[in-house]
Amino acid sequence: MTRKERFNAIIGWFAENQPVAQSELHYDNPYQLLVAVILSAQCTDRRVNTVTPPLFERFPTSGSLAAATFDEVYPFVKSVSYPNAKARHLIAMAQMLEQEYGGVVPSDIDALMRMPGVGRKTANVIASIVYDKPVIAVDTHVFRVAHRLGLSDGTTPYAVEQDLERHIPLEQRAVSHHWLILHGRYICTARNPKCSQCPLTAWCREFPLLSR
């Protein structure tokens, strides 16, 4: 089976059986999504969704967050991973957002990546969800699933991103990110993957080993 055939089969299965897929983070606007994605680094969406409602109530805009102190922000994020760094990143991000972009979350990937706490994955998530850009964010779930299903042999997230974007049509890239991340989160988990529940074992390169 060629890689193109593999992509067509796997993406085709998702398109037919799970046509609707979206982020599990809760947000009402681009500013809130940016905050939530920064907080979600190495942290579950479920945890982030418990943290953000009181955080957004206290800091409803980037302007209010930009004017906050570390001691004001930290109590709201102390239960997420790396709370010290994330509290500082959120404040610095909001300050840059206000000072350089007038409070409007930019659509440009490079502009997003200049912001504290924003790496390529976060920038791609924002560009994809908010601005409908045909990019794929590669986190640990997407990286793992892409390798197991033979969609990429890339050794870095960026290399996997390039492989996925090379083979997935523009109009399917945004939803494909969600298909892969949700599959990795609930079925193709890092430990004890649920192979008996997986509909994609025919294309999984590790199925014989994982299913033992």
Number of residues assigned to the chain: 212
Tokens 């649920």 belong to which residue?
Answer: 194
Residue 10 exposed, middle or buried by CB count within 10 Å (0-12, 13-18, 19+)? buried
For residue 118, how many other CB atoms are within 10 A of its CB?
Answer: 22
Contacts of 164 (CB under 8 A, 6+ apart): 136, 138, 142, 146, 151, 152, 173, 176, 180
Helix 3-17 and helix 157-167, axial crossing angle in degrees, nearest 10: 80
Closest CA to 135 of 174, 176, 105: 174
Residue 33 one-letter amino acid = L
Catalytic residues: 121, 139
